[in-house]
Structure 1
Amino acid sequence: MKKLFVITLLSLILTSGHTQAVEATGNDNLPDISLYDMNGNKVNIAELGKSGKVTVFNFWATWCTPCKKELNNIADIYEDWQADYDVQIIAVSIDDAKTKANVKSYVDGQGWEYLVLMDDNKELQRLLNGQTVPFTVVVDKNGMIADKHSGYVEGDEYLLEEKIAELSNK
């Protein structure tokens, strides 16, 4: 019985870092709301999605280790993605009033070339039905939500690249 308990407990621990696809119908538009970038400039979300590029919104926080790992891994290959697929990555911080002061110094220290937006009240995340971070929303060239994904495990960036490649060829 004790052995079964240990095996069950280990299984739960090992799968707690799982990723999960979140339903996206392919018929949903981005919400017409605005967030602010790190310099205080207002940015309309719906307009970002209508850029004619595949757009990836990646929700993260400075206190979220898997979030930072994912965005750092994407940063390593982002230049190639831009050249191959003309994709834009938008890193959306959900850091609240207590931690949002850490965002700019973290991003600057990492050298990310992403547009970073602040969603400190989690309005955009809620409107897109995001429950946790990391949370990724992929938008096609026409501004339609094509895919949603929660969580991160090492290598998920390559699955994301496959989705970006598929949408870039449409």
Structure 2
Amino acid sequence: MKQHLKALVLVLVVGGLAVWAFNHFFMSKVSQSPSNISAIEKMETEGVPNFTSKALEGQSFDLNQMKGKVVILNFWASWCGPCVEEVPSLIKLIKEYKGEIQLIAVSGDSNEADIHVFLKSFPELKGENIKIVYDQDRSLMKMFEVARLPESLILNKDQKLVKKLVGSIDWHTKDSLEYMDSLLGKTK
């Protein structure tokens, strides 16, 4: 009986130490690394990080050039069904606002040729207020911590994050238009 009692005490001590070590290790990792929530909060309060990129047409631009306009930073790929599904309503939204809203469509495709094939189906994506970016090295996706496609960030005129959308949506609904109007300071 004494041996069973000693074994039980030993198991409890080792188990307690294991739980303490796990909690200590886990808590130190949480306090050392910023969470997604703090990154989102930082983009909401301080603004999104500026970046310079090259559109498919060849012209370079940086995000700061778009201050004063609402920007939709849309991460997509030609092979992504939900991405393809939302493109027509996204184009319609951008056209309706005639330059007040800018679209930066960041492609996660594995090669640029796939993007050009995709654009044959949606030639209006080559519009005036739309920039198509091939994120070949996935640096923009990493910068904005994109987890899945499609994912969109809506930035206000000060380039602060006001909404993060994960998944496909209909961009041209009454609610969407009212929301965009509110970001642009329009009253009806």
Q: Same fold (TM over 0.5)?
A: yes
Q: Secondary structure at the match of 1:40?
A: coil
Does the aligned pair in 2 maintain the 1:70–1:157 contact within 8 Å?
no
Distance in 1 (alpha carbons) for counterparts of 2:76 and 2:172: 15
Structure (1 or 2) with the greater strand fraction:
1
Distance in 1 (alpha carbons) for counterparts of 2:136 and 2:71: 21
CA RMSD of aligned residues (A): 2.4
- Residue 156 of structure 1 deviates from its aligned partner by 5.2
Q: If the length of structure 2 is used for normalisation, what is the TM-score?
A: 0.65
Higher-Rg structure is 2
Opposite residue 128 of structure 1, the aligned amino acid is F
Partner of residue 35, structure 1? 53
Opposite residue 51 of structure 2, the aligned amino acid is I
- Unmatched tracts of structure 1, length 5 or more: 1-21
- Residue 128 of structure 1 deviates from its aligned partner by 1.5
Distance in 2 (alpha carbons) for counterparts of 1:128 and 1:75: 22
With over 3 angstroms needed to count, the CA separation of the structure-2 counterparts of 1:76 and 1:57, relative to structure 1, is same
What is the total number of aligned residue pairs between the two structures? 142
Partner of residue 68, structure 1? 84
Q: Secondary structure at the match of 1:90?
A: strand
Structure (1 or 2) with the greater helix fraction:
2
Q: Secondary structure at the match of 2:79?
A: coil
Identity of aligned pairs, percent? 22
With over 3 angstroms needed to count, the CA separation of the structure-2 counterparts of 1:53 and 1:44, relative to structure 1, is same
Does the aligned pair in 2 maintain the 1:60–1:134 contact within 8 Å?
yes
Distance in 1 (alpha carbons) for counterparts of 2:54 and 2:89: 24
Distance in 2 (alpha carbons) for counterparts of 1:165 and 1:120: 34
Distance in 2 (alpha carbons) for counterparts of 1:157 and 1:61: 20
Match for residue 94 of structure 1 among 108, 118, 122: 108
- Unmatched tracts of structure 2, length 5 or more: 1-35
Partner of residue 128, structure 1? 144
C-alpha offsets along residues 140-164 of structure 1, whole Å, 9 cap, x if unaligned? 11111111111114x3543543432
Q: Secondary structure at the match of 2:148?
A: coil
Partner of residue 4, structure 2? none
